[in-house]
A and B are shown apart, each in its own frame.
Chain A
């Protein structure tokens, strides 16, 4: 009942970024909400064409423009070795509302100032339009990476929510890197200094970093990222597709994507880290490295942390998120766990 008064004013639309232009009012919404780089409709278009579960961009509009946007991946129980067809097939499916490349963050962004009933109504409106668009085969919606702030708007009667792996967040209250290092344990502090010093002084290591990189070979970057992912057993229910070279090509050229690379003097890419700049939460996103048996170097993982934290302190970004996984290591680097939930809205309660 609480959303009844605003339900009539929120109209949801579905945009297939592969073939549809960006939703009306997207530029104004992006200026206001400042979503991370991965939300760019141009990137979603490339990602969608080259994915098995292409993202749909669901936007909810009111008279003031877009209220909220959802990244909705249409997933199926069987994984055929083919890309998603242009038109959705019949058969059982579910929708995952998530941003595949933002670990620990939700697949929903909303306009500043929108909260409570308005956000609740916007999400329900998006669910209704998804049910209408995808038809009888849709079994429900699964929201990933839901934080405690968003949980009340997604949870409700007939819905299931569970805590999942926490994500690691570092609140940037430091004046400089030394202050951050001083907040860590003695052994971790010493290790970080040693790894950073070794990387800096290694004449056989070429370290480059910065936004809008145009000097990178996208195919090499994509290969390193996919090989790195393949070395770790896929989590059950991982619906992400491999990262592709055209996506990387468009992604690393963006001014809000910082890419740190480690090459050897022969030009071989040894490791890389991407950082998504954002006024509220900088995301330390992809990390990939060659294993030692293939010529990789140890300690670069920690060196990348030192550089990321140093950049965030220098640019006064309030928070860094480094996603889920390796929480013990991240805790030793000063990151604190942020509670993350998964919420399931079965078909009968969708939109209610």
Chain B
């Protein structure tokens, strides 16, 4: 299991990707906080951009982890990343405290730290207790679980406009009125109004988080899984990561119609569509560049074999 296969050495080093990924993801997620200051939800789509940055970085991490002979393990790596990330993300959203003087929430930072801890524990178990003995295992799973947590936080914030736990479990509020007492003098009635939060219509209560989980996990594993082979090129794989990221963002934008106003959700959808069309075209162009030949309705060209 410890035979190292070739992973294309790209122009961008792992460290560069990690710094860009974390910074853009955190900035994107924090920008959704402007929703809270301004009272409109049009800044939600920044969460999606942050999530895509995390996926972009994560797809390269998967490449380095899976170059240790884990051919069929590529999709599993995506799932384990999001499994670890889900715990960190849900726990992290409980820390919705505003840092004094800076004015930003603790949630993304706490989520990142929790994800790193959980990922390190899972990596230790896989490497030292199950004895998979892959040198980069612990650090890779730490990074992947951060990717999973930040992606879910970003897409969750894009979908609902907030990343606080209460915002994610409360779908809406309904008012219940009960007659309380009758004022004797003029017959006017008094009511007690109880506010009942609706949990079933929320991101977590309605299990929309499951959709985000799978959108993210597929988008994280797909770039390297699709592009693996002797002629894998880093720029093509990373372009595919952006493409599937924007594709996931389209679905999140459609689902956000259930939580946000029409204008904010439509802005998210348009940003996602533009990004997806651009990156998909680029990806096809890069595939054309790397392909041996690009043929339309031509027969098989034999190079060997028996026939």
Determine if chain A interacts with chain B: no
A residues apposed to B, CB below 8 Å: none
Residue numbers of B with Cβ under 8 A of A are none
